[in-house]
Amino acid sequence: MGDVTVLAVSACDVEGEVICAPTDINELFEFTTPLFSIGGFNFTRTVFLIFAAMAIVLGALFVGLRRQQLVPSRFEIAIESLVGFVRDDIAKGVIGTAHGMRYLPYLLSLFFFLLVGNVFKVTPLINFPISSRMAIPAFLAMVTWVIFVFVGFAKNGFKHYFIDTIWPKSVPLALRWLVGLIELVSIFVLRPITLAVRLFANMVAGHLMLTLLLVSGVLFLGGVGDIGIKAGIGIVWFVFGLAIWVFELVVAILQAYIFTLLSAVYIQTSLEPAH
Amino acid sequence: MNNLKRRYMAAAPLVIAAEEAESGGLDLLLPETSELIAGIIAFAIIFFFIWRWVVPTLGETLSKRQEAERSKLEAAENTKQEAEQMASDYREQIAGAKDEATRIVEEARQAAETVRSETIARAQQEAEEIMTRARQEADAETARALAEARGTVANLSIDLAEKVVGRSLDRETQLALVDDYLAELETGS
């Protein structure tokens, strides 16, 4: 833990500064040194965490649902209610009972992968959200995009889905081209980008705040022998960091939910495009 | 101070690494190839697992639980009906017992009443018999006394008359005369 903490920041002059800011933000997020390499594939800490998140999701779901008890344990109840929440509130609630179940596997995968990946941000010893790496939100947003565009074309046909969207008959002719352009850009271009960036930015900001505050707290308090009374700043940073920690836990859960919910909303609007 | 230096040294390799990479926020926005590949693989495995195992299992668990709930409800319903049946049986039995008790008491009262009235009737009858008998005896006694008295009076009268008249009268005729006289007296008085 001590080494990781120190490695997360560049040299910090606790005598001259009031907070330990990194010289380059990237170093908080990029673990370029591979743990090991397989055929040119660098198995970095982030890659390891991605697979760890996967393993946790698989393990939690397996342990939580394997026994099919009529009277479930507390853990089983927790897993079941999470799954039930995605099924009832997101899949059935948003997409509808008729089509919702078809997209349930995807929505469940999204929610659980992101939930674990996001909560990594505030998990002791890990302290790093894998969704703060653009690869994860970008990939998942692309999958959502492919699904809702495909569903839109498959369900409603090219004319009904695409032409009616960019040339909306219900809008007066003078404005039609403008509304159509806005719709075209917002649905087919902005949706996946905002979806990815919303998650990514939340995770980056949270990780940044936590690292800055907690590392400053630890380093200032640790340097008490050298800087004397100034180490008191460390207490402020540390307490503030712990408060943010609670807040970031909520954000982590919320962002997993929002990403899943919006994916469901996009799929739903493709099933029944507005007229 | 020693402590601080060690921290600087530990952090040094990373500082160099960061400087080697192109600095700037843009780097953060570009997906790292190895992470992208890892993400695709990991997500694909999760999706496959959930698609092939979690969702079917969930459906099974739910239907099993619903089945259990239903049978539990049915059992509860049966138990309830049985209990109600038993309760109404008991109520009937209790009502029957009450009726029975009432009937027995009524019978006893009737029996007692019968005995009482019979006893009274018998007593009255006996009393009447006794009184009747007493009255008859008294009447007989009276009649007898009367007859005796009448005989005595008649004889005395005849004897008296004989003495007064000095001659013997035909006894039979005289007795008849006395009797007539007495009868006259009786009716007259």
Is residue A239 a part of any domain in this protein? yes
B108-112 mean pLDDT: 92
A215 is in which domain, residue-wise?
A: 56-271
**Pick among B4, B20, B67 to test the A interface (most A CBs inside 10 A):** B4
- Evaluate if residue A92 carries a pLDDT over 70: yes
- Total CB pairs under 8 A between chain A and B: 153
Is residue A21 a part of any domain in this protein? no
B17-32 mean pLDDT: 60
B14/A223 CB distance under 8 A: no
Is residue B35 a part of any domain in this protein? no
pLDDT band at B68 (very low <50, low <70, confident <90, very high): confident
Is residue A28 a part of any domain in this protein? no
**How close, in Å, is residue A269 to chain B by CA atoms?**
23
**What residues of A are in contact with residue B60 (Cβ under 8 Å)?**
68
Q: How far apart, in Å, are the Cα atoms of A270 and each of A92, A156, A167, A189, B114?
A: 15, 8, 16, 15, 99
Is residue A7 a part of any domain in this protein? no
Phi-psi region of A62 (alpha: psi -120 to 50; beta: other; left: phi over 0): alpha
**How close, in Å, is residue B71 to chain A by CA atoms?**
13
Structure tokens at A113: 């992968």
DSSP state for residue B54 in the 8-state scheme: I
Domain count, chain A: 1
* pLDDT at res. B11: 42
Residue B168 CB neighbours (<10 A):
9
* pLDDT at res. A8: 45
**What are the DSSP E strand ranges found in A124-269?**
none
Nearest residue on chain B to A42, alpha-carbon basis: B34
* pLDDT at res. A11: 59
Is residue A184 a part of any domain in this protein? yes
Cα separation, A216 vs A221, whole angstroms? 8
| DSSP element (H, E) containing A247 | helix A232-271
Better pLDDT: B9 or A237 = A237
A26/B21 CB distance under 8 A: yes
* pLDDT at res. A9: 46
* pLDDT at res. B159: 77
- Evaluate if residue B19 carries a pLDDT over 60: no
* pLDDT at res. A139: 96
Cα separation, A234 vs A256, whole angstroms? 32
Which residues, at least 6 apart from A241, have a Cβ–Cβ distance to it below 8 Å?
Answer: A209, A210, A213, A214, A216, A217
B62 is in which domain, residue-wise?
A: 40-188
B8-22 mean pLDDT: 40
**How close, in Å, is residue B41 to chain A by CA atoms?**
9
**Mind listing the pLDDT tens digit for each residue in A145-203?**
999 999 999 988 888 888 888 888 888 888 888 999 998 999 999 999 999 999 999 99
**What residues of A are in contact with residue B31 (Cβ under 8 Å)?**
133-135, 138-139
Q: Taking a C-beta distance cutoff of 8 angstroms, is the pair A33, B22 a contact? A: no
Helix A135-158 × helix A191-222 angle, to 10°: 160
Cβ burial, residue A51 (10 Å; 0-12/13-18/19+): middle
Lowest mean pLDDT among B68-82, B132-146, B171-185: B171-185
* pLDDT at res. B6: 42
Domain count, chain B: 1
Q: Taking a C-beta distance cutoff of 8 angstroms, is the pair A34, A43 a contact? A: yes
B162-170 mean pLDDT: 67
Cα separation, A252 vs A247, whole angstroms? 9
Minimal CA–CA distance to A230: which of A10, A14, A63, A2? A14
Is residue B67 a part of any domain in this protein? yes
**Mind listing the pLDDT tens digit for each residue in B115-163?**
999 999 999 999 999 999 998 888 888 888 888 888 888 888 777 777 7
State the average pLDDT for chain B: 80
Is residue B6 a part of any domain in this protein? no
**Pick among B8, B23, B54, B66 to test the A interface (most A CBs inside 10 A):** B54
Q: Is B100 on the interface with A (CB under 8 A)?
A: no
Is residue B156 a part of any domain in this protein? yes
pLDDT band at B23 (very low <50, low <70, confident <90, very high): very low
Q: Where are the alpha helices (DSSP H) in A86-130?
A: 104-119
CA torsion sign for B115, B120, B123, B124 is negative
ipTM of the complex model: 0.89
* pLDDT at res. B130: 92
- Evaluate if residue B2 carries a pLDDT over 80: no
Q: Is B64 on the interface with A (CB under 8 A)?
A: yes
Is residue B11 a part of any domain in this protein? no
Is residue B33 a part of any domain in this protein? no
Residue for token pair 């900001």 = A205
Cα separation, B95 vs B101, whole angstroms? 10
- Evaluate if residue A51 carries a pLDDT over 50: yes
CA torsion sign for B118, B124, B130, B132 is negative
Is residue A25 a part of any domain in this protein? no
Is residue B21 a part of any domain in this protein? no
**Pick among B8, B35, B66 to test the A interface (most A CBs inside 10 A):** B35
* pLDDT at res. A263: 96
Is residue B9 a part of any domain in this protein? no
